Amino acid sequence: MKQGKLTTIFSGLVIYSVLLSSIAFGQNVDGQNNLKGNADSKVSGKQTEASFKYLQDITRSAEAGQIASVEGVEAEVEKITRILASGSKKNRVLIDEYATKRLLVVNTLAVQMLAKDAPANLRGKRILKIDTASLLADSKNRTEAATLFQNALDQVTKANGNVVLYLEDISSFARQNPLFGAEIADGLRKFLVDGKTQVLSAGTVTDYHQQIADDSQLRNRFQKIEIKANDEVADNSFVGNKLSPDLRELVNSGDQNQNVRVILQSDDIKNPELLAVLKQNNVVIESRAESLNMLVASLPVKAAEQVAALRQTEHLSLDRETTLLGHIDTTTGVRAARALPGNSSLDG
């Protein structure tokens, strides 16, 4: 092959790599919202592409109108915005006992960071989240998962402070019983101690004390922000985050990419905010019972918590198959009772 052709092919690969980096972080090719450090990346193209695959840009989703700002989390969002704008290098932990609001707070924060009146030093920053469910599903073993996770963290670090990384659960970097295994937890802890990127995470009060307050390496690197639970959630020990127990079990330990049929009870199934979140999470509405404000839908397990966290959602449960036992006199036990001595004339 002639040298001229080799030069042309090499140039094409370089342009493709630059475009890939720009698209992954929601940048324009002309350099708007530039995240410094990508151009001199020494990571191979294959590793970089894999890393970007597992980085979800929440701010970009907000720009595209796929995320709506919600009511009821204004106080928490204002507090986070004020702290981020202050230039403090401390990370934040959202204390969310029932896991009902954490993602709503983060989504609303992303929307408000794009507002014209947002603090100047927050404009252009991105909120990124590692898609751990997809990363683990694509990995052959824990070592491969840890490598992919570290590659994603490396890309975040190269943003030179222009990124806020959202980690859904502080158990992901716990010393004991880490959510995704010890290798990923160790990589995350090194990333946190390095302190080059601001991190926003969430957990319960117990999680915070066990995994941060009692940890000499992390206690001075985090500031907690209390999230007030909805009154109806706090008063109902069954509700949790409005998921039925069998669906909650799937969320905690099942295949996160599995689609399940659910029954969604809402105070308004036509609410635009509710419908927008369903669309964003690839929820397919199969049927409606408008008089009951109820939907039957196909939903990815990983989307259940976000849907349940909406204030319009009253309850979310698996759509279990109904088995008919027979005629009403069989179902109610009348036939069995009539067969007993002396009950032959029993007519129910």
- Quote the CA–CA distance of 103 and 99 in Å, as a whole number: 8
Domain that holds residue 135: 3-229
Would residue 277 be called left, alpha or beta, if left means φ above 0 and alpha means ψ between -120 and 50 degrees? alpha
**301-346 per-position pLDDT tens digit:** 888 877 887 767 888 888 876 544 455 555 555 555 555 555 555 5
Within-domain flag for 198:
yes
> Which are the contacts of 125, defined by CB distance < 8 A and separation ≥ 6?
59, 84, 113, 162, 163, 164
Determine how β-strand 198-203 pairs with β-strand 163-167: parallel
Domain count along the chain: 2
DSSP 209: I
Cα 204 to Cα 56, 167, 233, 246, 297: the distances in Å are 24, 14, 15, 22, 30
174: nearest Cα among 139, 213, 227, 147: 213
What 3-state class would DSSP assign to 264? strand
- Quote the CA–CA distance of 110 and 36 in Å, as a whole number: 20
Within-domain flag for 64:
yes
Residue 51's pLDDT is 55
Task: Tell me which of 195, 229, 263 is where a domain ends.
Answer: 229
Same domain, 94 and 218: yes
Task: Tell me which of 229, 258, 280 is where a domain ends.
Answer: 229
Same domain, 38 and 187: yes
- Quote the CA–CA distance of 93 and 80 in Å, as a whole number: 10
- Could you give the residue ranges of the DSSP H alpha helices within the chain? 3-24, 45-53, 58-63, 74-85, 102-113, 132-138, 142-157, 182-194, 205-208, 231-234, 245-253, 272-280, 304-309, 328-331, 334-338
* Cβ neighbours of 204 (radius 10 Å): 17
The answer to whether the CB of 89 falls within 8 A of the CB of 41 is no
Same domain, 271 and 173: no
- The domain spanning residue 309 has which CATH number? 3.30.70.80
Percent of the chain with pLDDT over 70: 73
Residue 241's pLDDT is 55
CA torsion angle for 54, 55, 60, 65 (degrees, to 10)?
40
What 3-state class would DSSP assign to 200? strand
SS (H, E, C) 44-86: CHHHHHHHHHCEEEHHHHHHCCCCCCCCCCHHHHHHHHHHHHC
Within-domain flag for 185:
yes
Same domain, 188 and 80: yes
Same domain, 112 and 46: yes
Average pLDDT, the chain: 76
Task: Tell me which of 229, 253, 285 is where a domain ends.
Answer: 229
Residue 50's pLDDT is 52
Same domain, 283 and 210: no
Q: Mean per-residue pLDDT for 143-171?
A: 91
Within-domain flag for 307:
yes
Within-domain flag for 139:
yes
Task: Check whether 39 has a pLDDT greater than 60.
Answer: no
pLDDT band at 42; cut points 50, 70, 90: very low
251, two tokens: 């969320």
Task: Check whether 242 has a pLDDT greater than 70.
Answer: yes
Same domain, 149 and 269: no
Same domain, 193 and 289: no
pLDDT band at 167; cut points 50, 70, 90: very high
DSSP 243: B
Q: Which of 75-89, 152-166, 168-182, 317-331 has the highest mean pLDDT?
A: 152-166
Residue predicted with more confidence, 164 or 179: 164
**174-213 per-position pLDDT tens digit:** 888 888 889 999 999 999 999 889 999 998 888 888 889 8
**272-296 per-position pLDDT tens digit:** 778 877 887 889 999 988 878 899 9
- Quote the CA–CA distance of 32 and 203 in Å, as a whole number: 35
Within-domain flag for 324:
no
Residue 73's pLDDT is 84
Residue 192's pLDDT is 93
Residue 229's pLDDT is 61
CA torsion angle for 90, 93, 95, 96 (degrees, to 10)?
150
Same domain, 224 and 246: no
The answer to whether the CB of 269 falls within 8 A of the CB of 294 is yes
Angle, in degrees to the nearest 10, between helices 3-24 and 45-53: 20
Residue predicted with more confidence, 340 or 130: 130
Residue 100's pLDDT is 73
Within-domain flag for 340:
no
Cα 316 to Cα 203, 245, 296: the distances in Å are 22, 10, 10
- The domain spanning residue 71 has which CATH number? 3.40.50.300
Q: Mean per-residue pLDDT for 9-23?
A: 39
- Quote the CA–CA distance of 124 and 59 in Å, as a whole number: 9
Same domain, 113 and 191: yes
Same domain, 66 and 129: yes
Same domain, 115 and 178: yes
300: nearest Cα among 313, 314, 316, 312: 316
pLDDT band at 271; cut points 50, 70, 90: confident
Within-domain flag for 336:
no
Residue 3's pLDDT is 47
Residue predicted with more confidence, 71 or 138: 138
What 3-state class would DSSP assign to 91? strand
